[in-house]
Amino acid sequence: MGLVVGATAPRELAALRDVAPDLAFLVPGIGAQGGDAAAALSSGRATAGAAGSVAGGGLVVNVSRGIAGAARGAGDPAAAVAAAAAEWAGRLPVLQSLP
């Protein structure tokens, strides 16, 4: 079980993490919607339970528009999407160091 918590509401994200320290969070709203990635990463990571002990700290961050949108007008859409995904992976360390 997990919760959907928007990155555009960082105070609420932090408050919900206090209430649910071990649940996974799906975090939409970063990228085109203007959510705060730093706040989501600092306040959203699980602090207890199984979700807190795995790579990503129980966060699933959705930036689909930011990645898929890179294909628009690109000479090589696949390369543009791969580059955008790599850039977001660098900005969101929850996507790194997966087993």
pLDDT per position as a tens digit, 14-44: 999 999 988 889 999 887 788 888 888 888 8
| Tally of domains in the chain | 1
* Cβ partners under 8 Å of residue 1, min gap 6: 23
Amino acid 95: pLDDT: 55
Amino acid 97: pLDDT: 46
> What crossing angle do the helices spanning 37-44 and 10-19 adopt, rounded to 10°?
10
> The pTM is what?
0.77
pLDDT per position as a tens digit, 45-96: 888 776 666 666 888 888 888 888 888 887 888 898 889 888 888 888 765 5
**Residue ranges making up the domain that contains 59:** 2-95
CATH number at residue 14: 3.20.20.70
